[in-house]
Structure 1
Amino acid sequence: MRLTTVVVVVVLLLCSAVVGGESGSKHDYADALSKSILFFEGQRSGRLPSNQRMNWRRDSGLSDGHELGADLVGGYYDAGDNIKFGFPMAFSTTVLAWSVLEFGDLMGEEEGNAKDAVRWATDYLLKATNVSDKVFVQVGDPDTDHNCWERPEDMDTPRTVYIVDKDHPGSEVAAETAAALAAASIIFNVTDPPYALILVQRAIKVFDFADRYQGSYNDSLGGAVCPFYCDFNGYEDELLWAAAWLYKATHNKYYWNYLMNNLHTLKSNAKFHGGINGGESFGEFGWDNKHAGLNVLFSNIFLLFLQELPMTDDGSNPFHTYADKFVCTVLPESPTRSVNYSQGGLLFKQGGSNMQHTTALSFLLIVYARVLAGAGKVVQCGNIVATQSRLIEVAKGQVDYILGDNPLGMSYMVGFGTKFPQRIHHRGSSLPSLTQHPAHIACKGGTPYYLTPSPNPNLLIGAVVGGPNATDGYPDSRPFAEESEPTTYINAPLVGLLAYFKSHS
């Protein structure tokens, strides 16, 4: 390495200390980990088990699917509403399983709770895929639900069931469901082999359905999914994402060949212009876009199973190349950065629920840092060299911001620390529990609770809200849903991050 490059790196590291988490603050990552997993119990739908710890919640959605003769009881509400959206639920399940797979050995006694959180989702996804060439992808009419403010235990809005099949395809949601089942199968291989086998066999069938009958659920279901969880990015990345997880779960070269034969679609679909430096962006990962996640995941698979894999023509690893590009879109000092950072150091992208980007991209940084360590490599972003430790430093800065190292000095995780959001955009949390108010609260009966400036009566422990705005301001108000609403897909990657920093603090 040239001396000038070293000097540039050192100077930039010093200048970006606020983003890298050099505040000196210490957080109880073990406590945050426990709470981040507990949050999922607050999102449960269905008949709650005897060991339910979020005890202000009660059974809900017990007739879901019955009008069609199907059992669709269970699963998760995705955010602060009472809809079971299959697309983000499946993605949250995939990433939560990945968190356990990657960092489960660092979780201690919380690994069992994390696996329980995954299993609550996969039990439901097995029900949703129980009929060949059909996936039940959503329960609840979103327009009607969003017009009400009522507890899930009280909901009297239509529990409409939405389906994709060969005549009404939904490759993105079906493929993401296959990815979730495949990823989960890996974490249960040792502790529950029969269940793991059921999961992977179902994943194979659902992927086959998604691939044979290609099409977007945007077109098949229209207003039921758009604009709520409309697929803006196309379904090709989900097909590749599912194939990657199926290869990791089965080592079947069919899925490797599927990836290599369709890799061109990944590059051609990286059409994200408008980052702060323009150009293509490989720094996208979330319920809609799997590009960065796929590249980080498979760069590791490539190293682990190199002897089993047929090589590319030039013997290269294309996933490493694209994963490096991801790092360069996120690294604060990179000349090709395509995300913003607030004055206080928060990774920020335009659109709602910003913390989903903060946690997901930080999770990938940690996973890829481990890949780099195993390969003995660094990332070159122009004249900037990013080491494994720098990726970890940036990710830690984001986690510490969430837990309290920010201009407002508050934690954005409910119940963590002494100052945290009190008025989150969440129906169950904001309305009195059945113990406090046994009488039914109708659709509009909850409106006064929505509008009151009083704190929520029920703590949704572990919930991480959408987060502050681009200037580090946070209104702590239910009507400001982009900032104050928690989601499962914010917490799912955070579980893995907290497990890592619990052991590497």
Structure 2
Amino acid sequence: MLGHALLVFLSLVTYSPSLQTTSPSSCKMLILHVWPTSFVGVFNCRISEPMDLGWTMEVNFDKGARNLKTWNVDTVSNFANVNLVLENQKYNEKLLPGDYLNIPFTSEYTGAIPHASVKIVPKTSAPPSTVATDVSDDPAVPTSYNYGEVMHKSILFFEAQRSGKLSINNRVPWRGDSGLSDGADNGVDLTGGWYDAGDFLKLNFPMAFAVTALSWGYIEYPDAYEATGETDNMLDCIKWATDYLKKCHTAKNEFYYQVGSVGADHGNWGRPEEMTMERPSYKATPESPGSNVAGEAAAALAAASMVFRKSDPTYSETLLQNAKELFEFANDYRGNYECNNVYKSSSFGDELCWAALWLYRATNDQTYYDTALAFYSEFKLGGGSYAFSWGSKKVGIQVLICKLSKGQHTLSCSAVDAFLKNWLVGGSIPRTPKGLVFRTDWGSLRYSAATALIALLAADEGINPTVYRDLAKKQIHYMLGSSGRSFVVGYGVNPPVRPHHRSSTCPDPPQTCSWANFRTTEENAHVLEGALVGGPFINDTYLDERPDYYHNEVACDYNAPFQSAVAGLKHLELIGQL
């Protein structure tokens, strides 16, 4: 995917208020990625003077850029894409000395990449303030959605992401066999798995997180799948990924975590069935450890072993054995994996604790629970959390400990409650005018969907159930249409039709597929059923534009918590508690 998991700081302000100075704030343009006719960057400012009432940014290119797009700002003027004046939005109007402001942008170019000077100045007056409300409180907005249909389509999205030799009952007719030589560079079979997002990279860190999130939802809400006739499809969905993760565990202390080169992959726009670019494979070993990715894979396989315990006990036991070995590998040889991978976490302690908890839940072996509690203390996992995501399992760990202790581990239960309070109206996280809790501009819906799942799981443990179930319902309903449009491809009113996704963009052979298909404003050639796009701007505006990977790309780690949250809502509907 085009930078889907570059550091989140690109769209955030980082506070360091201890740095006090009255010197002018300094800005510059940073280029993040370059393609033959376009590039991605940020206007980066280090704030050295208080900006209490907002700010204005002046950008002057030495030559014209083309089709320049910016995020997190309003455009006051734009003269021929050479001289621009941008200004703050409501949520980022106040800056303090020591803050860093990053305004992402994309631009096309001809010849040499244009250079730019950037300047930021404080405003002397502020516009009238607005108050975010919850659109679901408007009686004119529908509040009932077909959860079964959404679950069905979301599973189809994962099928559209499949790599390898497809089964004879493939339900996505525009997809075929692909990546059949994956792993050949190292003499191993790494065929299968899911393509990560809108690209053709196979990245086991977010893939394993998606498996864990999907398995968690199935374990807690099996009645939702049974009632909608999706049980077999869900089991098949999870197994496609666990078969691959199991393949990647090529020796006791060895785990392949990536197939594909970021640069080569992102330089290509075409069909996966016709890939010709380099697809190297990378592995973690005792000499080059990967505790974060091996730990997440251990958690995924342990959770999935519970999914298959009744339907296929032999397969379940195989997954569990792999999970145990991967956990030992992750713990015995500690360190984060290093590669040109865009998914990197700053620590591995949460993955070790996460894996130990899932192993305890799968085995009922007290040793794993005691080990998890030791990790909980060692890695200080009881504090606040930014979000539940591929990069941070902290609040997921807190929910699991609260559950497994039957509420007796009061600190973890309280930590979950404190996390969720920030997502309520009046909490510390901003909201769009129509009620989406807006954690960040890049893929805002993935965070809200994951929090909706956490809210449902917390409610199941008796943590403020009425309030947190309502929070989950309203966030998921925003994605399904309460904002006035759907953000799920192929579902609801006015859904996205130009998601940032290569294979669905490409028409059927013998027609060719290239960057020309990326640049066209036509709808994607195929409907990517069930895919959750990144989401709107903070003012609820959404532009269904393929190049805008901040708001319009899709990813497995977006859809997995979303899928499980929808299953949770279907469960509540079935038992009459929605």
TM-score by length of 2: 0.73
CA shift digits 1:279-304 (9 cap, x unpaired): xx33521000001111112211111x
Task: Find the partner of 1:199 among 319, 324, 328.
Answer: 319
Report how far residue 321 of structure 1 moved: 2.3
Residue 349 (structure 2) pairs with residue 229 (structure 1):
no
- 1:412 corresponds in structure 2 to 487
Alpha-carbon separation, structure 1, partners of 2:443 and 2:270: 22
Pairing 1:321-332 to 2, within 5 Å after superposition: 321-332=414-425
Mark the CA change 1:268 to 1:393 in structure 2 (over 3 Å): closer, same or farther.
Answer: closer
Task: Find the partner of 1:18 among 118, 135, 143.
Answer: 135
Task: Find the partner of 2:329 among 180, 200, 209.
Answer: 209
CA shift digits 1:256-299 (9 cap, x unpaired): 111222222443685xxxxxxxxxx3352100000111111221
Alpha-carbon separation, structure 2, partners of 1:332 and 1:84: 38
* Code of the aligned partner of 1:151: R
Report how far residue 418 of structure 1 moved: 3.9
SS of residue matched to 1:403:
helix
CA shift digits 1:73-107 (9 cap, x unpaired): 00001100000011100000110111111112222
Q: Which moved more, 1:397-406 or 1:100-109?
A: 100-109
Task: Find the partner of 1:241 among 342, 354, 358.
Answer: 354
- 2:365 corresponds in structure 1 to 252
Alpha-carbon separation, structure 1, partners of 2:395 and 2:237: 24
Report how far residue 317 of structure 1 moved: 3.3
The answer to which structure has the higher strand fraction is 2
Q: Which moved more, 1:76-85 or 1:487-496?
A: 487-496
Mark the CA change 1:20 to 1:182 in structure 2 (over 3 Å): closer, same or farther.
Answer: farther
Report how far residue 38 of structure 1 moved: 1.2
Task: Find the partner of 1:295 among 385, 394, 398.
Answer: 398
Alpha-carbon separation, structure 2, partners of 1:35 and 1:21: 27
Alpha-carbon separation, structure 2, partners of 1:316 and 1:69: 47
Alpha-carbon separation, structure 2, partners of 1:169 and 1:418: 47
Report how far residue 156 of structure 1 moved: 0.9
Report how far residue 329 of structure 1 moved: 2.3
Mark the CA change 1:157 to 1:176 in structure 2 (over 3 Å): closer, same or farther.
Answer: same
Task: Find the partner of 1:427 among 473, 487, 502.
Answer: 502
Alpha-carbon separation, structure 2, partners of 1:290 and 1:283: 10
Alpha-carbon separation, structure 1, partners of 2:313 and 2:476: 34
- 1:133 corresponds in structure 2 to 253
- 1:273 corresponds in structure 2 to none
Residue 167 (structure 2) pairs with residue 49 (structure 1):
yes
Residue 283 (structure 2) pairs with residue 163 (structure 1):
yes
- 2:301 corresponds in structure 1 to 181
* Code of the aligned partner of 2:510: P
Cα RMSD after superposing both structures: 1.8
Residue 396 (structure 2) pairs with residue 282 (structure 1):
no
Alpha-carbon separation, structure 2, partners of 1:39 and 1:74: 16
SS of residue matched to 1:153:
helix
Report how far residue 338 of structure 1 moved: 3.4
Structure with greater contact order relative to length (CA < 8 Å, sep ≥ 6): 1
Report how far residue 186 of structure 1 moved: 0.4
Q: Which moved more, 1:363-372 or 1:256-265?
A: 256-265
Question: Does the CA-based 8 Å contact 1:20-1:393 persist in structure 2?
Answer: no
* Code of the aligned partner of 2:247: K
Alpha-carbon separation, structure 1, partners of 2:312 and 2:410: 34
CA shift digits 1:18-58 (9 cap, x unpaired): 36787443211111111111111000000111111111111
Mark the CA change 1:132 to 1:401 in structure 2 (over 3 Å): closer, same or farther.
Answer: same
- 1:59 corresponds in structure 2 to 177
Report how far residue 492 of structure 1 moved: 0.8
- 1:275 corresponds in structure 2 to none
The answer to which structure has the higher helix fraction is 1
Report how far residue 502 of structure 1 moved: 2.7
Which ranges in structure 1 are unaligned for 5 or more consecutive residues?
1-14, 271-280, 307-314, 373-377, 379-386
- 2:509 corresponds in structure 1 to 437
- 1:262 corresponds in structure 2 to 375
SS of residue matched to 1:327:
helix
Residue 525 (structure 2) pairs with residue 454 (structure 1):
no
Alpha-carbon separation, structure 1, partners of 2:262 and 2:297: 20
SS of residue matched to 2:402:
helix
Pairing 1:82-93 to 2, within 5 Å after superposition: 82-93=200-211
Report how far residue 501 of structure 1 moved: 2.4
Q: Which structure would you say has the larger Rg?
A: 2
SS of residue matched to 1:31:
helix
SS of residue matched to 2:514:
helix
SS of residue matched to 1:330:
coil
SS of residue matched to 2:482:
coil
Pairing 1:454-473 to 2, within 5 Å after superposition: 454-473=522-541
Question: Does the CA-based 8 Å contact 2:177-2:273 persist in structure 1?
Answer: yes
Residue 256 (structure 2) pairs with residue 144 (structure 1):
no
Mark the CA change 1:17 to 1:474 in structure 2 (over 3 Å): closer, same or farther.
Answer: closer
CA shift digits 1:369-410 (9 cap, x unpaired): 0111xxxxx5xxxxxxxx31111111110111101111xx21
SS of residue matched to 2:177:
coil
Alpha-carbon separation, structure 1, partners of 2:382 and 2:413: 18
Question: Does the CA-based 8 Å contact 1:282-1:325 persist in structure 2?
Answer: no
% identity of equivalent residues: 37
Alpha-carbon separation, structure 1, partners of 2:313 and 2:409: 35
Question: Does the CA-based 8 Å contact 2:142-2:482 persist in structure 1?
Answer: no
Alpha-carbon separation, structure 2, partners of 1:438 and 1:186: 44
Residue 571 (structure 2) pairs with residue 478 (structure 1):
no
CA shift digits 1:202-236 (9 cap, x unpaired): 1000000000000011xx32xx11xx11213x111
Residue 182 (structure 2) pairs with residue 79 (structure 1):
no
Q: Which moved more, 1:39-48 or 1:109-118?
A: 109-118
* Code of the aligned partner of 1:490: Y
Question: Does the CA-based 8 Å contact 1:19-1:398 persist in structure 2?
Answer: no
* Code of the aligned partner of 1:296: V
Report how far residue 481 of structure 1 moved: 0.5
Alpha-carbon separation, structure 2, partners of 1:62 and 1:297: 38
Mark the CA change 1:342 to 1:90 in structure 2 (over 3 Å): closer, same or farther.
Answer: same
Question: Does the CA-based 8 Å contact 1:175-1:239 persist in structure 2?
Answer: yes
Task: Find the partner of 2:470 among 393, 410, 417.
Answer: 393
TM-score by length of 1: 0.84
SS of residue matched to 1:163:
strand
- 2:432 corresponds in structure 1 to 342
Which ranges in structure 2 are unaligned for 5 or more consecutive residues?
1-131
Alpha-carbon separation, structure 1, partners of 2:409 and 2:276: 56
Question: Does the CA-based 8 Å contact 1:414-1:461 persist in structure 2?
Answer: yes
SS of residue matched to 2:303:
helix
